[in-house]
Structure 1
Amino acid sequence: MTTDTARELSLLTMQSLPRELYVRQQTMPAGHFFPLHQHDWHQLLYAVSGVLVVDLIGERYFIPPEQAIWLPRGCQHSVFTEYGADLKSLYLDPDYKGLTSEKAAVLQVSPLFRELILTAAEFEVEYPVQGYENDLVQLLLQTLSRLPRNDRYLPWPVSEDLIDLCNRLYKQSDSRETSEQLAAGLAASLRTLDRRFRRETGMSLKQWRLQLRLMQAIELLNTGQSITAIALELGYSSPSPFIYMFREQFGVSPAQYRKQRVSPGLQQRG
């Protein structure tokens, strides 16, 4: 099987994986969306560039290039990218036991693991089961099991009206509506809205909006926009309060985050 033919394999027609690890590459254009689905095998989603927005029931994850998300077999999920992404989907045999988590998990991608993914992505689907290719795949799988986890994600409500509210706030990132105004739009008191929101997400609406801005800041910092433009897009009157908020939460300024996002020497690959 040639590489070109291998890359045309359809996940819809596959009854089982051709190898213990199968890497599928895809360039996702801006606004691309994979609707809710699941697989009969484990999956690791990784974007070499761009940010993935991965929705599970009750959870939303923003996955920048320094992270990947582990989706165990049967985990229902949808995937979206606002600004485009260079996607590497790693499909793993359901018998793989390196990660025992039965729930989705965000993993910090090391420079070594990134290089292993990029190399394995160039293998033919039916690569030799002995020799260099298989040895590299085994190293990749062993490295995967040792990656540290990151628990930062955005809880998502399950009630239809609250889902619509959160989707609107996500799309209108510069919205300056107060919590009282949002509650009035739902014909509810602020106390009622906050109680419902806490019950479904574990945090207040105000806390949730701050977390949303943080996640969207990460998303925007992976584009070429200036810090000033990002601050204004997120609804700040100037860059200063945005920089302060970001530093308070992440320990570095937005510019420092952008600079250290990808280790030197890994930003370009032929």
Structure 2
Amino acid sequence: MPEQTASDRIVVVSQDAHCFASGRHTHEQAQLIYAISGVVSVTTTDGTWVVPPSRAVWVPAGIGHETKSHATVQFRALLIDPADVKGLPGVCAVVEVRPLLRELILRLAALAERPGSADLGRVVTLLLLLELSFPPVEPLNLPTPQHAQLARLCEWIQSDPVRAVSLEEAASALHMSRSSFMRLFKRETGMSFAHWRQQARLLGALSLLADGQSILNVALACGYDSPSAFSAMFRRSLGRSPSEYFARPAGDQGSDPVLVRRR
């Protein structure tokens, strides 16, 4: 990915691509990853963030990560010297991208392509660092169990969201009683099996919706009998219908992030 200096404190990495995957890598600098359009996912050993354009991901210096998109995406990554950043998280975190922050990111990217006044670059950089805001992590997460057999079962369920795996079927796959499986699952993920399975479907649905697929196609691909059943689940989980969630009102550019957290 091309790197361009935007100021004496920030380097901009630009990527406009279809089905992009960076491979796992690290940076000496901290990184702010923001999708101008499309949806980008950032994966670390702790989990995966699926980030639409109203949020960005903060990746501290030295954290191994992979950046990926399953469809067309435009994103900008700002590499920031950690010595210049005080009081910001030492772990990966979600950044709220309000309209001002978005414009500052775009201005830095433009300055990287067409360098102008050094003073302007410094002022934009200072404003950007002051504007960074880290909201509480949304309660939409999908923990991955440490228990090896259970982790493989969860991976299999995620790979085939149409299949309705019952609690009894899941317990049988691990040669456990229903009650023992329920205790293990709760201990490993902090969720009930039914809740985890619904979250897994919702995560898959978000990526498909972001790719522009219809609600009907997404509902069927995620194992729901009808668009209305899917939309009802979506609204219960996120407080908005799918169309409202991905709407782009004036002054805003998208929707909330999804955190897939590994334990």
**TM superposition score normalised by structure 2:** 0.82
RMSD value, Cα: 2.9
Partner of 1:85: 73
1:150 to 137, 142, 146: 137
The alpha carbon displacement at 1:195 in A equals: 2.9
The answer (yes or no) to whether the contact 2:21–2:69 under 8 Å persists in 1 is: yes
Partner secondary structure for residue 124 of structure 1: helix
The answer (yes or no) to whether the contact 1:18–1:126 under 8 Å persists in 2 is: no
The answer (yes or no) to whether the contact 1:98–1:141 under 8 Å persists in 2 is: no
Rounded Cα–Cα distance in structure 1 between residues aligned with 2:59 and 2:71: 22
Rounded Cα–Cα distance in structure 2 between residues aligned with 1:61 and 1:124: 26
Partner secondary structure for residue 60 of structure 1: strand
Instruction: Answer yes or no: is 1:251 the counterpart of 2:239.
Output: yes
Instruction: Answer yes or no: is 1:220 the counterpart of 2:212.
Output: no
The answer (yes or no) to whether the contact 1:246–1:254 under 8 Å persists in 2 is: yes
Q: Which amino acid aligns with 2:14?
A: Q
Partner of 1:264: 250
Partner of 2:15: 26
The alpha carbon displacement at 1:93 in A equals: 0.6
Give the 3 Å change call, closer, same or farther, for CA 75–199 of structure 1 in structure 2.
Answer: farther
Instruction: Answer yes or no: is 1:94 the counterpart of 2:82.
Output: yes
Partner of 1:122: 110
The alpha carbon displacement at 1:52 in A equals: 2.5
Q: Which amino acid aligns with 2:8?
A: R
Partner of 1:13: none
Which ranges of 4 or more aligned residues in structure 1 deviate by more than 6 Å?
none
The answer (yes or no) to whether the contact 1:42–1:93 under 8 Å persists in 2 is: yes
Give the 3 Å change call, closer, same or farther, for CA 185–167 of structure 1 in structure 2.
Answer: same
The answer (yes or no) to whether the contact 1:62–1:153 under 8 Å persists in 2 is: no
Partner of 2:96: 108
Partner secondary structure for residue 206 of structure 1: helix
Unaligned runs of 5+ in 2: 254-263
Instruction: Answer yes or no: is 1:44 the counterpart of 2:26.
Output: no
Partner secondary structure for residue 175 of structure 1: coil
The alpha carbon displacement at 1:147 in A equals: 4.9
Residues 73-105 of structure 1 deviation map (CA, whole Å, 9 limit, x = unaligned): 222333332334222111111113344222211
Partner secondary structure for residue 188 of structure 1: coil
Rounded Cα–Cα distance in structure 2 between residues aligned with 1:23 and 1:264: 26
Partner of 2:173: 185
The alpha carbon displacement at 1:9 in A equals: 4.4
The alpha carbon displacement at 1:265 in A equals: 6.8
Percentage identity across paired residues of the two chains: 34
The alpha carbon displacement at 1:110 in A equals: 1.0
